[in-house]
Amino acid sequence: MSMTGAENAITDVAGLSVGHHERVGRGWATGSTVVLVPDGAVCGVDGRGGAPGTRETDLLAPQNLVQQVHGICLSGGSAYGLAAADGVMRWLGERAHGFAVGAQPHEVVPVVPAAVVFDLPRSDWGNRPDAEFGYQACQNAASGPVAQGCVGAGAGAKVGSLKGGVGTASVIVPEPGGRAGETRPGHPQPGESQPTVGALAVVNAFGEAVDTGTGRPWTAECELAGEFGVGAWPSRAGDLSSGDGGHAGDDGRSLNTTIGVVATDAALTKAECQRLAMAAQDGIARAVRPAHSMFDGDTVFALGTGAHELPEGSGPFGAAARAAALDQLCAAAATCFSRAMVHGLLRADGTAGLPAYRDVWPEVC
Amino acid sequence: MSMTGAENAITDVAGLSVGHHERVGRGWATGSTVVLVPDGAVCGVDGRGGAPGTRETDLLAPQNLVQQVHGICLSGGSAYGLAAADGVMRWLGERAHGFAVGAQPHEVVPVVPAAVVFDLPRSDWGNRPDAEFGYQACQNAASGPVAQGCVGAGAGAKVGSLKGGVGTASVIVPEPGGRAGETRPGHPQPGESQPTVGALAVVNAFGEAVDTGTGRPWTAECELAGEFGVGAWPSRAGDLSSGDGGHAGDDGRSLNTTIGVVATDAALTKAECQRLAMAAQDGIARAVRPAHSMFDGDTVFALGTGAHELPEGSGPFGAAARAAALDQLCAAAATCFSRAMVHGLLRADGTAGLPAYRDVWPEVC
């Protein structure tokens, strides 16, 4: 049986902190969220949406020089929101966290990949995150707990016909299953510490996160230990007629995007991080339908902090043992990302014209 | 025999304008260069260096939604310089140039891919381009002529042991060569207008752009119509001992990067633009040695404005005819990019510790 981490948040991976900054009200509903790893973490990325808005993703290719990043910046504001990463770089650089490029400790270039969601219709035109949003999100960063719902990059989020938001989750990864009697050379023995996987998602998808005919989130079954706090899921169609933010009123130019971070304390290579990010995209595929549309920019970053050694990948049994351990992390990442997305859905607050899940199905709360 | 365009500059491709903004002196030597296409151009990108610094490259993948960009931002300042693109977006957005995301004309998101060069050692720490540099470069943009040398993103550039800079060039693309008697269905007949290819390069490579044993630029032979203004190339080794900016003093952390734009008025798809960008990388491969190192971030964008139709790619002969026409553009792009790099080398001014080409081989000037 799987267990969540202590906070059921991405910050259960030691070394990570998360901060939000948003403006809501008076013509604003947008913000930025940072995941900081000031001491560096190996990073990979996978993009599967048709309309991504990103920066510093090319350097993450496994064949490239830079091995570690120092933070991930997620923002509203569409491509304009990429400016928030400037503020994250400044905050990290002021504290001498970054890739060393000179003899002095402060001569660093922080590596801060970023992705954005399209939430411009939630704010008056021209209101979008700038560098200050990224800087303030860093100021607010803490190693937990992590606020969820309409905060940070989720402040203006929308998922299908409903208000979206930020969600997070974590899991202590169980031992890989092996066939009875099979030896698994190099694999940690029972009693050794197990890796943690955490996810943080900004749920802003074109597709629906809920079976609107029954009210059940598509990935409700992923729940661990009653984390969703729902005694029984509804089994009735939702009345979505009160909202004007659904697909009916769209003119076909609606853009969306689910973005997020999946993290583990396992010691992964860049290529392995990329695979972890790919796995988390499966979590999106399950949690929203349709997923990965031409109007989504779905981008997931994966971080490996390195505290937990995986089996060596060498020798006659090593490669298979390492691949099996990585697959275990990947399966956990997919499910954990789906769970984070359900949290983002359930924790969102409705706004004028865009009801929250619990506005439509209040019986679950 | 090939001919250059009227200005021998990337702006010979109609619809493009180029602007620079830099700060030089008093602890500064860095800047930004923009290539603006306010009405939009199809765009592709190719990255072949090990240390890229980029934004908005993921959306350029052929399978993704956005088909056109509105500008390319090239900057010094390493990853910090990605902030310059914020200013380019603001300038374009204020003028309602961008991807339409709402009912009002001003509700646009300008698409501005960007790449940066590593020139931090040329400036006091902390002096690097910000959003204002990008905005000012837009203010300075014109449809030609294009300033070259230590301007814009080339203000702090370095190539091997020498000062680098910005260079540009263009070519009227000759008819594809065919075997005698071979018909080339769908190809423009002689007398129809021929496409133009232009390039703009920020020459900041780890490798040398000159055979330092002879003083001859590696791609001197690409010269068109006496454009380099050199009667006879030197044939003596250069004395590079006066400089302290060469490889000898490096501690292995020197980062570099050649970045640039290749453009054509041909009507290309995103995938064809990507191929044009790949071809321009061959121009880098020839012009600097070594090229595409782990310490370069070599990224080239390709723009197609669409005025000049290529042969249709359908039917029994069409695909081959279109491929042949594209190959002709690609060959021109590679050579044109090499020529732009030689211009960037020759037009640079030396600084303390980093001699220009013409400081070392003054007899050519």
Q: pLDDT at residue A38 above 80?
A: yes
Determine the average pLDDT of the residues in A317-324: 87
Using a CB-CB distance cutoff of 8 angstroms, which residues of chain A are in contact with residue B114? 55
Determine the average pLDDT of the residues in A73-102: 97
Lowest mean pLDDT among A169-183, A249-263, B86-100, B225-239: A169-183
Determine the average pLDDT of the residues in B285-299: 92
Q: How confident is the model over A41-74, as pLDDT tens digits? A: 999 999 999 999 999 999 999 999 999 999 999 9
- ipTM field: 0.86
Alpha-carbon distance values, B287 to B219, B339, B341 (Å): 5, 8, 7
Taking all residues of chain A, what is their mean pLDDT, rounded to a whole number?
Answer: 91
Report pLDDT for B205. 95
Question: Quick count: other Cβ atoms within 10 Å of Cβ B314?
Answer: 10
Report pLDDT for B175. 67
**Range 308-337 of B in CB contact (< 8 A) with A:** none
A131 touching B (Cβ < 8 Å): yes
Residue of chain A with shortest Cα separation from B129: A86
pLDDT tier, A242 (very low <50, low <70, confident <90, very high otherwise): low
* Contact between chains at B51 and A59 (C-beta distance less than 8 A): yes
**Pick from B343, B352, B364: which is nearest to B154 by CA?**
B343
The domain ranges of chain B are: 10-353
Report pLDDT for A214. 96
Q: pLDDT at residue B243 above 70?
A: no
B107 touching A (Cβ < 8 Å): yes
Q: pLDDT at residue B182 above 50?
A: no
Nearest to A52 among B59, B79, B85 (CB): B59
Q: pLDDT at residue A308 above 60?
A: yes
**Is the model more confident about A16 or about B249?**
A16
Whether the CB-CB separation of B31 and B156 falls below 8 Å is answered with yes
Report pLDDT for B179. 37
Give me the residues paired with residue A73 across strands.
Answer: A34, A114
* Contact between chains at B86 and A85 (C-beta distance less than 8 A): no
* Contact between chains at B121 and A102 (C-beta distance less than 8 A): yes
Report pLDDT for A183. 40
Q: pLDDT at residue A240 above 90?
A: no
**Range 221-260 of A in CB contact (< 8 A) with B:** 251, 253, 255
B125 touching A (Cβ < 8 Å): yes
Alpha-carbon distance values, A91 to A98, A140, B215, B238 (Å): 11, 11, 45, 44
* Contact between chains at B102 and A121 (C-beta distance less than 8 A): yes
Q: pLDDT at residue A188 above 70?
A: no
Determine the average pLDDT of the residues in A223-229: 95
Q: Give the closest-approach CA distance of B132 to chain A in angstroms.
A: 13
Determine the average pLDDT of the residues in A126-148: 97
* Contact between chains at B51 and A57 (C-beta distance less than 8 A): no
* Contact between chains at B125 and A104 (C-beta distance less than 8 A): yes
Residue of chain B with shortest Cα separation from A252: B101
Using a CB-CB distance cutoff of 8 angstroms, which residues of chain B are in contact with residue A125? 102, 104, 106-107
Determine the average pLDDT of the residues in B326-336: 96
**Is the model more confident about B314 or about B72?**
B72
Q: Coil, strand or helix: which one is A287?
A: helix
Q: Which CATH class is domain A10-353?
A: alpha beta
* Contact between chains at B86 and A89 (C-beta distance less than 8 A): no
Q: How confident is the model over A160-169, as pLDDT tens digits? A: 999 999 999 9
B88 touching A (Cβ < 8 Å): no
B131 touching A (Cβ < 8 Å): yes
pLDDT tier, B242 (very low <50, low <70, confident <90, very high otherwise): low
Report pLDDT for A1. 64
Q: pLDDT at residue B178 above 50?
A: no
A189 touching B (Cβ < 8 Å): no
**Range 36-65 of B in CB contact (< 8 A) with A:** 47, 49-59, 63-65
B301 touching A (Cβ < 8 Å): no
3-state secondary structure chain B: CCECCCCCCHHHCCCCEEEEEEEEECCEEEEEEEEEEEEEEEEEEEECCCCCCEECCHHHCCCCCCCEEEEEEEECCHHHHHHHHHHHHHHHHHCCCCEECCCCCCCEECCCCEEECCCHHHCCCCCCCCHHHHHHHHHCCECCCCCCECCHHHCCCEECCEECCEEEEEEECCCCCCCCCCCCCCCCCECECCCEEEEEEECCCCCECEECCCCEECCHHHCCCCCCCCCCCCCCCCCCCCCCCCCCCCCCCCCCCCEEEEEEEECCCHHHHHHHHHHHHHHHHHHCECCCCCCCCCEEEEEEEEEECCCCCCHHHHHHHHHHHHHHHHHHHHHHHHHHHHHHHHHCCCECCECCHHHHCHHHC
pTM: 0.90
* Contact between chains at A79 and B120 (C-beta distance less than 8 A): no
Nearest to A53 among B59, B82, B86 (CB): B59
Q: pLDDT at residue B181 above 60?
A: no
Q: How confident is the model over B86-108, as pLDDT tens digits? A: 999 999 999 999 999 999 999 99
Report pLDDT for B241. 75
Report pLDDT for B356. 96
A66 touching B (Cβ < 8 Å): yes
